Amino acid sequence: MGGCVSSTFLNGLNGAPTLVFGAGVTGAPTIEFLKSQGSVVHIVDEKVEEPNVLRSLQGLNLQEMYCAVVSPGWHTDHPLIEEARHNGVKVVSEIDLAWRVKLETAPDQRWLALTGTNGKTTTVQMTEAMLRESGIDATACGNVGFTAIEAVTQTSSEILILELSSFQLEWSNEAHFETVAILNIAEDHIDWHKSFENYAAAKFRITENAKCIILNRHDDEIVRRAQSIGNLIGNRLIWFSLDTPAPHQIGLVENLIVDRAFISEEAEALFELTDITPAVPHNVLNAMAAAGLARSVGAASDSIAQALKKFTLDHHRLEVVAEKDGITWIDDSKATNPHAAVAALQSHMSSIWIAGGLAKGASMEELVEKCKNRIKVAILIGKDAPIIEAAMRKHAPDIQIASIDPGLAGIEVMRRAVALAHMQARSGDVVLLAPACASMDQFKNYAERGELFAQAVKEKIGE
């Protein structure tokens, strides 16, 4: 096997055979990069039927492979990956590949990283905006915009802010970060990780190679796990919360978000609650985490406030798609797990809630218990609607439930859901699409689900 850990990793790629596990969104730029370095790339993906994609390792000389790069989503004990390892192939993640390239091509570039069950994309985009407003060349990447290898090879950024999923963290060992942050940890992807314990442990791996760690003091799982890192030598541990900050914390004083972590003086105001839209608790916490990441590499407080004043949330994240007759229609299709749906429901006093899809092994009990006083009517869609219905019958038996045929797909699902919601809605109500589930049973992805919701709403109310 070639020297996948040599100081001239890039030189070694020229003419060398490599393996890429996964031909999807992450795999494609990895393949393109390896080919650009002169590597002979063998692509393996059991789910893709294309002439140049292998479904097994038969016929390959694995002993000659320089290395294998694995896309997120592959299990660490997948039989094909085990076979490659057994034959001496060094297997690395796409994040670690990007790190090796960065070490050779951009040694002064600094990496920040962020994970959490919800709010990741919003927070890395806020961080990018804060740094750019401060005159620092920064790029958000990972699960947003560029992949890590694209950000390293196609930008000249001083700082990369990586949004990292539990899948990516499960696989990655080599990248080192100036600062990392964890927003929250709640049930998600249990079907993949096999248990909540495994999922939470994967999230916490982000702290292992970090100089500074920023954590949410309101999240019980984070607080519990932080006890194991509190005594790590050389790690700075910073907390953020909606409480008055102590030293080494970012917190809230009246309507000001205040930094007592990254300054030499007693305290400094970073921004006001009115600078954030929407100024709901989970989004304020996202902004605090972003400010902490940005401050850790030199962002100025006035630039942080300016960036937040200009910042708008992504599509399909608490996005108002229509308002008519006192009824507000909101698309939060990006709420693909119960924790995200809780944040959406708690942002409004009374919602006609459209939910359902693929639950990915998550329980809906806590969601319903926490939010039952915010739900006026539940309209359930998708394959795992019965899981939500069972939780509703148990914890909120008085709330009216309507279910839509799970055999429908696409626009027909949303036309039925919107029609039912329209019948129930009165002035002052919010109709909220916050599915708490993944979308692939009835839609291409969460974006299509949100777009078809908006289309159905506009058809119904004549906009």
**What is the reported pLDDT for 411?**
96
**What is the reported pLDDT for 191?**
65
DSSP H or E segment with residue 85: helix 79-86
Q: Which residue has the higher pLDDT, 89 or 117?
A: 89
At 84, the pLDDT band (50, 70, 90 cuts) reads very high
Residue 193 has pLDDT above 70, yes or no: no
**What is the reported pLDDT for 3?**
42
Task: State what percent of residues in the chain have pLDDT above 70.
Answer: 95
pLDDT (mean) for 423-444: 93
Q: What is the pLDDT of residues 221-275, one digit of tens each?
A: 899 988 877 555 456 899 999 999 999 999 999 999 999 999 877 899 999 999 9
At 214, the pLDDT band (50, 70, 90 cuts) reads very high
pLDDT (mean) for 364-385: 93
At 15, the pLDDT band (50, 70, 90 cuts) reads very high
As a dihedral over the C-alpha atoms of residue 170, residue 174, residue 179, residue 180, rounded to 10 degrees, the angle is: 0
Peptide bond into 278 cis (omega under 30): yes
**What is the reported pLDDT for 391?**
95
Instruction: Please state the three-class secondary structure of 398-451 as a single string.
Output: CCEEEECCCCCCCHHHHHHHHHHHHHHCCCCCEEEECCCCECCCCCCCHHHHHH
pLDDT (mean) for 46-62: 86
- The Cα 322–Cα 329 span in angstroms is 5
DSSP letter for each residue of 13-66: HTT-EEEEE--STTHHHHHHHHHHTT-EEEEE-TT---TTEESS-TT--GGG--
**What is the reported pLDDT for 463?**
56
Residue 217 has pLDDT above 80, yes or no: yes
pLDDT (mean) for 357-372: 89
**What is the reported pLDDT for 146?**
86
User: What mean pLDDT is reported for the chain?
Assistant: 90
**What is the reported pLDDT for 230?**
59
**What is the reported pLDDT for 196?**
85
Q: Which residue has the higher pLDDT, 313 or 422?
A: 422
- The Cα 84–Cα 408 span in angstroms is 42
For 177: left if phi > 0, alpha if psi spans -120 to 50, otherwise beta; the answer is beta
Q: What is the pLDDT of residues 143-169, one digit of tens each?
A: 777 889 999 999 999 999 999 988 888
**What is the reported pLDDT for 1?**
39
**What is the reported pLDDT for 72?**
82
Contact by Cβ (8 Å): 426, 327: yes
